[in-house]
Structure 1
């Protein structure tokens, strides 16, 4: 390949990557979690280390923190199994006897299987939500339910349902369905029941236009007249790429353009500047049709927990790491500060996209998540959170 062509293709790839959120580069750069499998992992050695850490006169918090924040969830499960086999005691219960407060809450999150941890968080949130339910008064329990249901994959939700049934002898879908009626319940049920479509790589311009028009028509009335089910169906079912995508580069060669060729695509591309990106997706077309960003429309047409839930889903579809960065800031410091939320996010994202979240946090607030946690927490609890966060972002 001529050097000039290589340079041109490399330049185009760099331009495209720069336009993508960090989370979308996962396939290019590899995992974006802060915790990765320890290659020299030995179960027996870690079991002994845990025994030494809790058997003495003083608990060795440093060792406990190091072990838990340098092993994946799967490796922690293997340690717990080995500890049970060797001592005939439950590792989590043994650690809980030695710690308390937020540190204990964090240890529970780290030592439970991820889906089981989510199932228990949902159970607690549902109790609070059903008791304090009001269509017009969103609260922390509704936000927790929205966070978990909107950010877990279809497979993860299935695993959560299994753990929920096993641990609580109850069907989660049935419990949600029997709760207070309203749009928020409909959203949760849609997320449980619906398998989100996978992006095939083919841009369906006709469906994009149909969905955008459907959202416009569904939100045509005032609050109370909105066709909420239509909004929920589209947002819960369609692929993120279909709903929100940066997909068409004006400077593409004609050969590349033919890969996504259609009369509609050519017409839209011809309206662009000489070089740049055009977002061909439902959210962008909705904005073009109404003058409203999708978030503005949700705030206009929905209220209370329904608004919180749908805004959460939209935020996740827009930019999942940014959603979590904002939620972390609110959980650490603010009117809705909640250490359970802080712990849940750091634990649940530590093996997937916490590096992306750190990058968005730095961009959004002008300081690193690591520094923020260090300034706002203390003691062994702070050390464990910093172990999950891993490092500064300069």
Structure 2
């Protein structure tokens, strides 16, 4: 078989051998992904024209988020395996993705497998996946619920609930109600409604809202707790910035310090997370990553979840806040605590500046 015309029109790197042809391409944007897929289509067209197929048993891949390597072998009998299914914009229930997910589950293990499988989900589906396991696992993972629900916008929450219903045929708010309790549950359910006002602020009511928060921290009755969570869950970020400043003026105390003094448990952690996310989400997630890496002996699930969930949103800013606040880069700390393919996958997601290496 002559393969001299195999690379016609190919834009990626192609190494041609009759029994072991390699196609590789760097993928750090949608354009790069499209280029790889178009080249795979060209190879499939070439194979069809020459009455041959790619050998499914001979292909291998490596894709820690930002680059993909595909290896193919030739066969006249085996079916083509040109289903480049690594596409975070395609849902996990897509047929081609299911094939790849099955292969990943069968051939990878431990935390490296968690990372690779996590990368297969679109953002809303990944949030739904994490919430399902946080609620329905052996033990409820309250910190996962806090991280996700305290930080998502109305649109993200709506998409997350749709994905949750589609993937698990369950209502997210009902599952939260059945698996959690008390004011912690009420606040999570409120957040899961996705009804926060957006882009609206009324300076004339900021002092009144601040007074309600101050009274809630002083009296701590059930009614005051409800009023506290209603303000934090439903007022716009712009309004809450003014409310927090008025709270400082009224009480002489930062609202985070007041919440920590007056409340405890997961309810307190959730309220603080909401405040910190209102102020600066990248700083909040930098703080959570640092705790997961240093205070909990490298809590793998938290590190994986945050890196994947924020990778297409604000991970660059999280990296910046991490280094500003803790003196060492996130890249450095991951490299210090993780190892092997798992380390390589996390570092590929995290990326890094020259000085971080």
TM range (shorter): 0.7 to 0.9
* 1:346 counterpart residue number: 307
Q: CA RMSD in A?
A: 3.2
> How many Å separate the matches in 2 of 1:123 and 1:152?
16
Contact 2:88 2:120 in 1 (8 A): yes
Contact 2:187 2:229 in 1 (8 A): yes
- In the alignment, structure 1 segments of 5+ residues that lack a partner are 1-33, 134-140, 245-280
Contact 1:359 1:393 in 2 (8 A): no
- Call closer, same or farther: CA 1:365–1:90 in 2, change over 3 Å: same
* 1:84 counterpart residue number: 96
* 1:286 counterpart residue number: 247
- Please state if 1:208 is matched with 2:206: yes
> How many Å separate the matches in 1 of 2:64 and 2:268?
44
> How many Å separate the matches in 1 of 2:31 and 2:214?
50
* 1:175 counterpart residue number: 175
* 2:30 counterpart residue number: 37
Aligned length: 304
Contact 1:362 1:393 in 2 (8 A): no
Q: CA deviation at 1:218?
A: 2.1
Contact 1:211 1:282 in 2 (8 A): yes
Contact 2:86 2:120 in 1 (8 A): no
Q: CA deviation at 1:312?
A: 1.0
TM-score by length of 1: 0.69
* 2:263 counterpart residue number: 302
Spell out, residue by residue over 1:48-83, the C-alpha distance to the aligned partner (whole angstroms, 9 max, x if none). Answer: 89x9998449x5547887229xxxx99434598998
> How many Å separate the matches in 1 of 2:262 and 2:146?
18
Superposed, 1:182-261 pairs within 5 Å as 182-200=182-200, 203-221=201-219, 223=220, 227-244=224-241
- Please state if 1:150 is matched with 2:156: no
Deviates more, 1:329-338 or 1:342-351: 329-338
Superposed, 1:372-383 pairs within 5 Å as 372-383=333-344
> How many Å separate the matches in 1 of 2:91 and 2:127?
20
Superposed, 1:59-74 pairs within 5 Å as 61=62, 66-67=67-68
- Call closer, same or farther: CA 1:46–1:311 in 2, change over 3 Å: farther
Per the alignment, in what secondary structure is the counterpart of residue 67 of structure 1?
A: strand
Q: CA deviation at 1:204?
A: 2.1
> How many Å separate the matches in 2 of 1:65 and 1:352?
15
> How many Å separate the matches in 1 of 2:269 and 2:149?
12
Higher-helix-fraction structure: 1
Q: CA deviation at 1:226?
A: 7.1
Q: CA deviation at 1:212?
A: 0.7
Per the alignment, in what secondary structure is the counterpart of residue 151 of structure 1?
A: coil
Q: CA deviation at 1:44?
A: 5.0
- Call closer, same or farther: CA 1:337–1:178 in 2, change over 3 Å: same
> How many Å separate the matches in 2 of 1:143 and 1:46?
42
Contact 1:61 1:380 in 2 (8 A): no
> How many Å separate the matches in 1 of 2:173 and 2:142?
16
* 1:160 counterpart residue number: 160
Per the alignment, in what secondary structure is the counterpart of residue 111 of structure 1?
A: coil
TM-score by length of 2: 0.76
- In the alignment, structure 2 segments of 5+ residues that lack a partner are 1-26, 45-52, 70-84
* 1:30 counterpart residue number: none
